[in-house]
Structure 1
Amino acid sequence: MSSTNSTGPNSKQAQRKAAMSVLAHSAASDIAGRLAAITLPGHENLREPENGLVMMRGRVGGDGAPFNLGEATVSRAAVRLASGEVGFGYTLGRDAEKARMIALCDAMVQSAELSGEVEAKVIAPLRAAMNAERSRKAAETAATRVDFYTMVRGEG
């Protein structure tokens, strides 16, 4: 009988996935500003940041047969910390420095010593800013909402 705990590999994977989502949707300048607030560990580039193309796939009707929609430009990088953790960074567009910063954050999230600090000083503030922006846009959109209704006409 297995039990779930908050320190298992699945929770680490979920934490890493959530961090990568926040980083990929954040601006490079915001990530750089947050990273400036912490002492960066020694690290080396395993894969220098580079740009390339990926094929985007679509589905007919949203859930039907897949088809090739087109290509999108992406940047990728890989970083290894001096302590051995390896991080990978991918982002849409031609922003090699953002891909490198994402890879660095990914490696730090995996480190037992650095994960708390990078979560508190980089990921959490970026997540809060992203959620605030989404809430602001939702409120702005809701203000323009029009409710249509139909009055029931009486018979006869």
Structure 2
Amino acid sequence: MQQSNLEIHAGSRQAATAQKRKGKLAVAVFLGVWTILIGGGVFGAKWYIDRMQTNLTADIERQTAAQIQQLQSSYDASLQELEQQHTEEMNALKGKVDALNELLTFAKDNADTKTDNSNKLYTQLNEVKKQLNELKKNLDVLK
């Protein structure tokens, strides 16, 4: 009977050891599954954040490029308009200068000596030349 008690006792030890191993194995599997789930969640969150960041960056770049293009075209249109106005003003002043030169030449040909009229014409001519030079400077600054 002692031998059978020993056998029962040895069998129960083996059963207890096997249960402990199964318990440890179950805990290890449980922890492994949770580790995989947590790692997958972290990886998925990082992937999603990176994708959203890329999309947001692309949208901002597109909007910025559109705004820059709009500002550039507006600036070009304004610059062309100002250039056209200055060209027209310079042409008008050039016409006045030419007319004054003709009058001055005519007055010189008809006058034997210097008179007040020729002095007035010279003064007007100088004023027109100054205005023409100022307009040219303004046009150069705009270009």
Instruction: Classify the TM-score, shorter chain.
Output: under 0.3
More helix per residue: 1 or 2?
Answer: 2
Normalised to the residue count of structure 1, the TM-score between the two structures is 0.23
Task: From the CA coordinates, give the structure whose radius of gyration is larger.
Answer: 2
More strand per residue: 1 or 2?
Answer: 1
Normalised to the residue count of structure 2, the TM-score between the two structures is 0.25
